[in-house]
Chain A
């Protein structure tokens, strides 16, 4: 049975299947995502920074060199496959080993790869140069959201979390998926156009990675360490990426969106943020009632706890234990307060001391009085405030003792 006859049938079947698949996908009439991937994009994302455009060009040059070598090498091979067949009566030659040929095909590729690496060296050095930045932002990876702190430059002091904004119904296929599906957030990182922005990355729990393809930036965010990278966006617009290092269950659901604004718009945004932050601060003298705390706590729970402990409070044992019926949640208050402030070593439970007194008080009160938990009590922001004064030995002891 010849090659030609034995392959004809499967070929037809395969092309048919491929066409069906492509046609099926195209029916949904998806359009390009601004600042994100295009439909059936086949090359790197259009660059908006000098580094990204150097990478774009480097990749094309590499691809071209490889394509030329590929055609030359496999031109020879397939000519040989075509011409030097026994079925054509070709008799085997007996030559083997040729020092000059072998030296040539060692030296020439060596020169080619050194040229290739040489081309890239300048970009490697440029990517590493994070000096003289106009604005420094710290990006902290959390399971599973990003926290941003504006550390230096205009907007210093702004701080917020950024979580996936795609509604659950779209993920579950109950609603039509939007154009920015999976790559949209509630709070975008805002930066000014044409300014050098230094991004410090770190993480709260496991390794994450902060990436924006249009900027040519990808930097791991490592718990306990600070790394940095930089970009200078040349074009106003919104640019999208997502966490690039496997970080657990919701790894695919922590996008990164950067909005590049004109300098004036950026200053306006900074002003708004400052006002918002001031307004958001809870009045320290407010006297909270238990229903108020529970209502507030439900919101905090939905933002900070639900990914692991689930809306049902059932968790996902064994890594993420249930809160419903938990001895910690139904036991003495101090243990639960200490656990939230301190986290628990060696488990996925991180410290949540970055939440405000009111938020912590609310979420603790909420968990103690939800599902089947009926503690009936409440924790006031003042309790949290005083607990923050506990020394680390007491915190560790209480949080570890919590059964």
Chain B
């Protein structure tokens, strides 16, 4: 990857004919500027992260001790369900779209996203969707309590909160598809002259592939939840055996969406890490081409492994064997990525500012989630561990220590470019160490609970599980509070701080570092030339 700026031809100033953003609230409502929209996405997802986090703390408070303390079981199920839905659809996915909005035009030398008005629309759709999700707690019967997977026929029993959830997900799906179309069009058509696909920054590559995944699978989810809706209200029997349907069909359709969804939430994270590690190792990414191929392989394989979420539904031995082998194959391209990052670090000249700490932390802890994924891929072991806390530990290792830590890394990496100020390095490091330590205190004991047979989604448990649950709850509150440090860091950096240079990082490469910090409202109105 060598997106080196050609200094000829585009060096005219930014001031003379540019106007700044309009003032006031309407700037944000009407904006079509990719940087404004990126900012909106990032703030929105941070608020959803805090909302989902509060729900998680409600879960961990109840589970601190055996017995029923705070919630009735129905509300507990609402907490686990909405925690999952809000984190997946409200926090992780929009946050990556926020990164895409900010960084893709800057990285490929484009003046904005391809469809600027649609961009505005795809963000503002999220707000009513999130409103529906949160408001569903307050309708009769409360929010949906069928688990974030909304398995039929349990989901056909729920009250109106379920319909609000379905509607919210339809809206969010539409938003995601519009965002993806925008990203694909921007990347394929608006790269600066000279930037061939194989010179494109890794973050753009991972997002290009992610956007294709989104377009392929979001309609599948929409289909599944629409069938659910008609089963609930219009007398169809897609998932009702009494009417000739099949409850397991819901799971097949859901996971045909759900497994690529897992990679939708991790591939852009891989992209961010592939920028941060070379920058702070002051050394080129070891294998750019193999990273691109590995990302593509993961995306393709993600379509043929969905039923590994369903080993206990009772599929034929041939099915179990196929999905076991296919799933284990994913370890190969994922391994290639990890080896590549480590080879990039090897014999580099490393410094450990906060972005690098989060990146190294990501590689270390995400890989642990990868190993538990490998163990879960083995069908007989999976049958023993399916729907236990081992699975909860596994997917939090890849989603929190994976996606979320990579996003933290990206925030610290690009914050100087966004705000024009350096962030508080001391607080940043504190945020990293608190997150890292509390994360492991929260989720590592869950492996033991799962191995010992504690099912997920239960509000009360055998007293023998008590100690590890107590430890996990203490960790969860620590982890939750640690995230307020990030808020402080970001607010401080917006308000002031040391002025950031155009390129504040010694080893960072790419077009985004060729524009001033903060990035002007309009950038690359004349395309740069890339050699």
Contacts and interface: CB of A to CB of B under 8 A. Distances in A.
Contacts of A246: 77, 146-147, 151, 154, 387, 457
A281 interface: no
Interface string B452-490: 111101111111111110110111001000000000000
Contact of A33 (B157, B387, B429, B462): B462
A182 B471 contact: no
Q: Is the interface of B mostly helix, strand, loop or mixed?
A: helix
B331 interface: yes
Given A55-B384, A70-B368, A123-B380, A1 B247 contact: no
Contacts of A20: 474
A58 B338 contact: no
B363 interface: yes
Given A77-B363, A84-B348, A218-B384, A18 B471 contact: yes
A36 B462 contact: yes
A354 interface: no
Interface residues of A, number: 126
Interface in B14-53: none
B100 interface: no
B502 interface: no
Contacts of A51: 380
B381 A62 contact: yes
A24 interface: yes
A32 B429 CA distance: 42
Interface in A33-76: 33, 36-45, 51-52, 54-55, 58-59, 62-63, 66, 69-70, 73-74, 76
Contact of A249 (B73, B240, B282, B312): B73
A228 interface: yes
A91 interface: yes
A117 B467 CA distance: 34
Nearest to A111: B332
Given A55-B381, A219-B314, A317 B467 contact: no
A70 B387 contact: no
Interface in B230-251: 232, 235, 240-242, 246-248
Contact of A124 (B160, B232, B287, B321): B321
Given A120-B379, A246-B147, A62 B350 contact: no
Interface string B339-380: 100111111111110000100100110011001001101111
B163 to A, nearest CB: 12
A124 B380 contact: yes
Contact of B380 (A6, A18, A25, A120): A120
Interface stretch (B87-95, B415-423, B430-438): B430-438
Interface stretch (B62-70, B129-137, B393-401): B62-70
B281 interface: yes
B345 A182 contact: no
A263 interface: no
A219 to B, nearest CB: 6
Interface in A206-230: 206-207, 209, 211, 213, 216-220, 222-225, 227-229
A242 B286 CA distance: 49
Nearest to A47: B384
A30 B289 CA distance: 56
A308 to B, nearest CB: 10
A386 interface: no
Contacts of A224: 240-242, 246-247
Contacts of A39: 464, 467
B285 interface: yes
Interface stretch (A92-100, A264-272, A291-299, A325-333): A92-100
Contacts of A52: 384
A40 B371 contact: no
Contact of B430 (A10, A70, A109): A10
A200 B20 CA distance: 69
Given A6-B426, A45-B452, A218-B312, A170 B67 contact: yes
A112 to B, nearest CB: 8
Nearest to B376: A62
Nearest to B153: A206
A228 to B, nearest CB: 7
25 contacts: A6-B430, A32-B464, A40-B448, A55-B381, A59-B384, A66-B371, A73-B339, A80-B345, A81-B360, A84-B345, A92-B282, A106-B336, A109-B335, A117-B324, A123-B379, A125-B317, A127-B380, A170-B67, A207-B151, A223-B153, A242-B455, A244-B388, A245-B312, A251-B457, A319-B158
Given A11-B437, A213-B453, 7 more contacts: A21-B471, A51-B380, A69-B371, A70-B367, A227-B314, A245-B387, A346-B156
Interface of B: 66-69, 72-74, 77, 140-141, 145-147, 151, 153-154, 156-160, 232, 235, 240-242, 246-248, 281-290, 312-314, 316-317, 320-321, 324-325, 328-329, 331-332, 335-336, 338-339, 342-352, 357, 360, 363-364, 367-368, 371, 374-375, 377-381, 383-384, 386-388, 425-426, 429-430, 433-434, 437-438, 441, 448, 451-455, 457-468, 470-471, 473-475, 478, 507
For the complex of A and B, list the 7 residue pairs with the smallest distance between their C-beta atoms, beginning with the closest.
Answer: A224-B241, A252-B458, A227-B314, A41-B452, A25-B467, A213-B453, A92-B349
Interface of A: 1, 3, 6-7, 10-11, 14, 17-18, 20-22, 24-26, 28, 30, 32-33, 36-45, 51-52, 54-55, 58-59, 62-63, 66, 69-70, 73-74, 76-77, 80-81, 84-87, 90-98, 101-102, 105-106, 109-110, 113-114, 116-117, 120-121, 123-125, 127-128, 170-173, 177, 179-183, 201, 205-207, 209, 211, 213, 216-220, 222-225, 227-229, 241-253, 316-319, 345-348
